[in-house]
């Protein structure tokens, strides 16, 4: 069966520090991969999605970036965090060319101080 792992679960970082959140999917190949963010009391904001290695779409201009070094690995990064980057980050995957049904990771809580 397919599983998705996301880490770290919790992160507290100072303003201006770098960020790296990692996500790995197991049990499937060539998945579509996604990064979402939830700010406090707000809905889901799609940040990035990828339909293949070297194919990453950015939905919102910001100081975050995403990379897909391997087929089933998706990384969210920042060189310098802002206070506004605080939130709950969710990684998800879907079957390529399917219905779009998403399977979510457990999330990463980022607090920028």
Partner 1 sequence: AQSVTQPDIHITVSEGASLELRCNYSYGATPYLFWYVQSPGQGLQLLLKYFSGDTLVQGIKGFEAEFKRSQSSFNLRKPSVHWSDAAEYFCAVGTSGNTPLVFGKGTRLSVIA
C-alpha pair distances (Å), 111 with each of 4, 22, 36, 77: 23, 16, 16, 15
Q: What string marks each residue from 54 to 93 as x (binds partner 1 by CB under 8 A) or -?
A: ----------------------------------x-x-x-
- Burial category of 80 from C-beta neighbours within 10 Å (exposed 0-12, middle 13-18, buried 19 and up): exposed
User: Among 42, 63, 79, 111, which residue interacts with partner 1 (rule: CB under 8 A)?
Assistant: 42
* Residue range at the interface with partner 1 (CB under 8 A); choices 14-22, 63-71, 77-85, 101-109: 101-109
38 vs 62 by CB, closer to partner 1: 38
Q: Is 104 in the site for partner 1 (CB under 8 A)?
A: yes
Whether the CA torsion 84, 65, 67, 97 is positive or negative: it is positive
Helix (H) or strand (E) holding 97: none
Residues lying near partner 1 in the complex (CB under 8 A) are found at 6, 32, 34, 42-44, 46, 49, 51, 88, 90, 92, 94, 96-107, 109
């Amino acid at each position: 069966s397919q599983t998705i792992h996301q880490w770290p679960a919790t992160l507290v970082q100072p303003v201006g520090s770098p960020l790296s959140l990692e996500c790995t999917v197991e049990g499937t190949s060539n998945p579509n991969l996604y990064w979402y963010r939830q700010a406090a009391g707000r809905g889901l904001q799609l940040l990035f999605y990828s339909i293949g290695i070297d194919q990453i779409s950015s939905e919102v201009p910001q100081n975050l970036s995403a990379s897909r070094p391997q087929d089933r690995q998706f990384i969210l990064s920042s060189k310098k965090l802002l206070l506004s980057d605080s939130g709950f980050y969710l990684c998800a995957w879907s079957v390529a060319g399917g219905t779009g049904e998403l399977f979510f990771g457990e999330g990463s809580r980022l607090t920028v101080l």
